[in-house]
Amino acid sequence: MTAIYKDDGFALHTDKYQINMTQVYWADNMHRRKAVFELFFRKLPFGNGYAVFAGLERVVHYLKEFRFTANDLAYLREEGYKEEYLDFLKTIRFTGTVRSMKEGELVFANEGIMRIEAPLAEGQLVETALLNIVNYQTLIATKASRMKQIVGEEVAMEFGTRRAQEMDAAIWGTRAAYLAGFDATSNVRAGKLFGIPTAGTHAHAMVQAYRDEYTAFRKYASEHVDCVFLVDTYDTLKSGVPNAIRVAKEFGDRIRFKGIRLDSGDLAYLSKTARKMLDEAGFPDAKIYASNDLDETTILNLKAQDAKIDVWGIGTKLITAYDQPALGAVYKLIAIEDEHGRMVDTIKISSNPEKVSTPGMKRVFRIVNRDNRMAEGDYIALEHEEPQREARLKMFHPVHTHIAKFVTDFEARELYETIFEDGTLTYELPKIEEIRAFVQANLDLLWDEYKRALNPVEYPVDLSQACWDKKMRMIRSVLAKVEANEEREGK
């Protein structure tokens, strides 16, 4: 790489305004004030009924290693930052406390996924990277989960690396897809880094290189025991499938003829006809793989057409989150220490009531009905509240408050774990297989109405009465100040 400075850290993986704001805090001696930030999104992606949280592992690595290197500081010096400020940046490490949902948790709009309590300077500087990581990984995990819900018991393989937005996206995207339910990836480096099962067939290039399918399949079979032949280079039914069958017969027990891959044309018609040909030739166990711009809509349609596809190879539409390429997670200041050392809550008002932030330190609980083991909804309470101790919980819609219900026999599962305590990592990162199992267990708690791909029912995310009252009090107090200001200005 022809970098001017060695790329040896991630602290500069931030927006310049974070460094500029931090300079202001530092110059004003505000930088050590305790601040609390919350990371959340306001709208679920893809019209899905839930999102799958991913990104915590990388966030942990990032915060653990957070420091400005000598190269970072040299570059900032060249950018014109003052020497005294650079001396301060040089000493910065992440010393905060992080409370977060676990990777693989199902998460909904307007609930804090992660809460960062840290000296203001640190909390501010890490915003961009945290959003960068969580936004992308959660987006892809959600897309993958949505696709896997449609794929069902069949196999979903991640094929997206070639179309991903560069290398990081391919690697962390395939990890997100796997933890959310995909079964394997074609990316070998992801296999090495995360222990994800890898798998693959072959491309048209190999058939073209040998110029005929029969020779190409034979050569492949001579070198590999597990064989899936790509059959659409010339003519799927007239040439590809017959050549695959011919080679499978010739090699007999010397190979495991796992199947064929279709990569163009009418996948419903071709798969049904190919299935018949394989069965008649005595290969009922050979699987039919399909790829070619697949997404959940196409897969659902193919299933409706009774396509005989066993393995779905999915690339572009998954790894680029093609129909919605960004999750709008934000990172908002919810409380800050004042000049007297007291924590004061902050609120951001918007003309859209759904966008008004919920002030203060809170915890998120999943309310699970003990009788049927299904989730009743999520419940956001103030830090000190203990909903699990209540016999009867009122759950009401935070905007349309007349929509309410009471739950009695319930378990209130707190969704936050402590990840860092005063800068020390206290959380043991789970293995990826554990995260996968966790996603499945979480999905089992949701009624199908929340999980369907089209027009799912909105899952309740409610505020406790105390939390709601506090929000309303703060809205009234801010609006009163705005009015007083207007009067002063004589408007």
Ligand X SMILES: O=P(O)(O)OC[C@H]1O[C@H](OP(=O)(O)OP(=O)(O)O)[C@H](O)[C@@H]1O
Ligand Y SMILES: O=C(O)c1cccnc1
Ligand Z SMILES: Nc1ncnc2c1ncn2[C@@H]1O[C@H](COP(=O)(O)OP(=O)(O)OP(=O)(O)O)[C@@H](O)[C@H]1O
Binding site for ligand Y (CB under 6 A): 159, 186, 200-201, 261, 291, 313, 315
Q: Considering the rule CB under 6 A, would residue 314 count as an interface residue with ligand X?
A: yes
In the region spanning residues 198 to 257, those forming contacts with ligand X, defined by CB under 6 A, are 203
Which of ligand Y, ligand X, ligand Z, none does residue 316 bind to, with CB < 5 to 8 Å depending on kind? ligand X
- In angstroms, give the least distance from the CB of 432 to ligand X: 23
Q: Considering the rule CB under 6 A, would residue 267 count as an interface residue with ligand Z?
A: yes
- In angstroms, give the least distance from the CB of 46 to ligand Y: 23
> Residues 86, 69, 135, 110: is their CA dihedral positive or negative?
negative
What are residue 232's phi and psi, to 5 degrees? Answer: -110, 20
From the list 452, 334, 419, the residue with the least C-alpha distance to 382 is 334
- In angstroms, give the least distance from the CB of 225 to ligand Y: 16
Minimum CB distance to ligand Y smaller for 225 or for 326 = 225
Q: Considering the rule CB under 6 A, would residue 305 count as an interface residue with ligand Z?
A: yes
Interface with ligand Z (CB under 6 A), residue total 12
Which of ligand Y, ligand Z, ligand X, none does residue 298 bind to, with CB < 5 to 8 Å depending on kind? ligand Z
In the region spanning residues 253 to 292, those forming contacts with ligand X, defined by CB under 6 A, are 263, 291-292
Minimum CB distance to ligand X smaller for 53 or for 159 = 159
Minimum CB distance to ligand Z smaller for 274 or for 474 = 274
C-alpha–C-alpha distance, residues 27 and 12, integer Å: 20
Figure out which of the listed residues 15, 154, 266, 310 binds ligand Z, where binding follows CB under 6 A: 266
Contact segment (CB under 6 A) with ligand X among 61-69, 310-318, 321-329, 462-470 equals 310-318
In the region spanning residues 55 to 74, those forming contacts with ligand Z, defined by CB under 6 A, are none
Q: Considering the rule CB under 6 A, would residue 292 count as an interface residue with ligand Z?
A: yes
Task: Indicate the residue whose CB is closest to ligand X.
Answer: 315
Q: Considering the rule CB under 6 A, would residue 293 count as an interface residue with ligand Z?
A: yes
- In angstroms, give the least distance from the CB of 403 to ligand Y: 46
Which residues in this chain contact ligand X in the complex, by CB under 6 A?
159, 162-163, 203, 263, 291-294, 313-317
Which residues in this chain contact ligand Z in the complex, by CB under 6 A?
264-268, 292-294, 298, 301-302, 305
